[in-house]
């Protein structure tokens, strides 16, 4: 357990000998969803996963904001003495990865956003009410979803406000992506998800195209057949391949040194 501010985060560190890879979860998810990616990469890497505040085995907090989650990345890296990791983030975690990398360019090797960190500016008052209504209707599912690692230990209203907060921040993500100086390799899903249909999700994904055109460090590594919810379960190999590519790009200059 890593103490941070008014809470403590449950962290798993394999202490492997290779490059550190830090995995940032989906909005309400726990660290269990990374198991297939970790198994695919193998024991030669140092895999670090953790549960965000009130998710998984981590403790509750008075602050569930996006900025609190950014601070938690710092807390975990400091506690585990991690230097220059690759950040792999799914959905909400993808936005965390690019924000942290933008603010700490000398402390990161690269980022792998998994169907997230797309500068889709769509949120308005009607959308906020739609999100709040959706979570009120789904409140009966939360006890089941928690057992599956897909819900937090806070109220339906708090779930909705966390979701609204991240969607509000996506509309302002363009300058963050423009400012990234590390490699970014996206793995993009297909189809819709619980909160958005296939057409809406494809519009969101399309907003990456101009951002990637402006920044040569960033590209889509793969677009896979699985949808947003199933991508880590069905296309874990594509995520692992993106991690390997960033690590290889970092090692390539050294392989050409003359001794």
CATH label of the domain that carries residue 102: 3.40.50.1820
Higher model confidence: residue 10 or residue 259?
10
pLDDT digits (tens, 9 = 90+) for 6-46: 999 999 999 999 999 999 999 999 999 999 999 999 999 99
Alpha-carbon gap, residue 212 to 220, rounded angstroms: 8
CB 10 within 8 A of CB 50: yes
CB-count burial class (<10 Å; 0-12, 13-18, 19+) for 173: buried
226 close to 235: Cβ distance less than 8 angstroms: yes
Residue 135 placed within a domain: no
Residue 159 in contact with residue 151, Cβ under 8 Å?
yes
Above 70 in pLDDT, residue 150? yes
The reported pLDDT for the residue numbered 255 is 33
pLDDT at 252: 47
CB 27 within 8 A of CB 91: yes
Burial of 206 (0-12, 13-18, 19+ CB in 10 A): exposed
**Average pLDDT over every residue of 215-222:** 96
Read off the pLDDT band of 201 (50, 70, 90). Answer: confident
Question: Does residue 196 have a pLDDT over 70?
Answer: no
Q: Quick check: 220 and 151 in contact, CB under 8 A?
A: no
C-beta separation of 98 from 66 below 8 A: no
| Residue 254: predicted pLDDT | 38
Q: Where are the beta strands (DSSP E) in 25-106?
A: 46-50, 86-90
pLDDT band at 259 (very low <50, low <70, confident <90, very high): very low
With left for phi above 0 and alpha for psi between -120 and 50, is residue 60 left, alpha or beta?
Answer: beta
- Residue 175, in any domain of the structure: yes
Mean pLDDT over all residues of the chain?
92
DSSP code, position 12: E
The predicted model gives 66-70 an average pLDDT of 95
Q: Is 48 within a domain?
A: yes
Residue by residue, DSSP assigns 103-159 as H-GGG-SEEEEES---------HHHHHHHHHHHHHTGGGHHHHHHTT-S-SS-HHHH
Residue 140 forms part of a structural domain: no
Instruction: Work out how many domains the chain is built from and give that number.
Output: 1
**Residue 184 counted as domain residue:** yes
Confidence of residue 195 (pLDDT cuts 50, 70, 90): low
Give domain status of residue 204, yes or no. yes
User: Which residues lie closer than 8 Å to 137 by C-beta, 6 or more apart?
Assistant: none
Note whether residue 163 is domain-resident.
no
At residue 193, does pLDDT exceed 80? Answer: no
pLDDT band of 192, cuts 50, 70, 90: confident
Residue 47 lies in a domain: yes
Residue 36 belongs to what domain range?
2-120+170-247
Report, as an integer, the average pLDDT of 141-151.
89
Task: Report whether pLDDT(256) > 50.
Answer: no
Answer for the pair 92, 193: CB distance below 8 angstroms, yes or no.
no
- Model pLDDT for residues 166-186, shown as the tens digit of each residue: 989 898 899 999 999 999 999
Backbone phi and psi for residue 40, each to the nearest 5 degrees, phi listed first: -65, -40
- Residue 135 is predicted with a pLDDT of 92
């Amino acid at each position: 357990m890593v103490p941070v501010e008014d809470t403590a985060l449950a962290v798993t560190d394999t202490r492997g000998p290779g490059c550190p890879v830090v995995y940032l979860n989906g909005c309400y998810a726990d660290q269990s969803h990374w198991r297939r990616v970790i198994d695919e990469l193998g024991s030669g890497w140092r895999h670090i996963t953790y549960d965000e505040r009130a998710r998984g085995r981590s403790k509750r907090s008075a602050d569930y904001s996006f900025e609190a989650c950014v601070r938690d990345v710092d807390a975990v890296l400091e506690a585990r003495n991690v230097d220059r990791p690759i950040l792999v983030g799914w959905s909400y975690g993808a936005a965390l990865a690019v924000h942290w990398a933008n603010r700490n360019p000398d402390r990161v090797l690269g980022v792998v956003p998994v169907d997230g960190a797309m500068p889709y500016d769509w949120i308005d008052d009607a959308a906020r009410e739609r999100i709040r209504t959706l979570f009120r209707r789904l409140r009966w599912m939360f006890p089941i979803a928690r057992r599956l690692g897909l819900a937090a230990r806070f109220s339906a209203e708090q779930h909705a406000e966390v979701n609204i907060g991240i969607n509000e921040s996506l509309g302002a993500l363009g300058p963050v992506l423009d400012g990234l100086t590390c490699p970014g390799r996206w793995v993009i899903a297909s189809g819709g998800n619980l909160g958005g249909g296939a057409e809406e999700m494809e519009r969101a994904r399309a907003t990456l195209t101009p951002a990637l055109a402006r920044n040569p460090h960033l590209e889509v590594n793969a677009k896979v057949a699985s949808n947003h919810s199933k991508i880590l379960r069905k296309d874990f190999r594509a995520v692992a391949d993106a991690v390997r590519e960033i690590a290889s790009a970092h090692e390539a200059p050294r392989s050409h040194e003359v001794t």
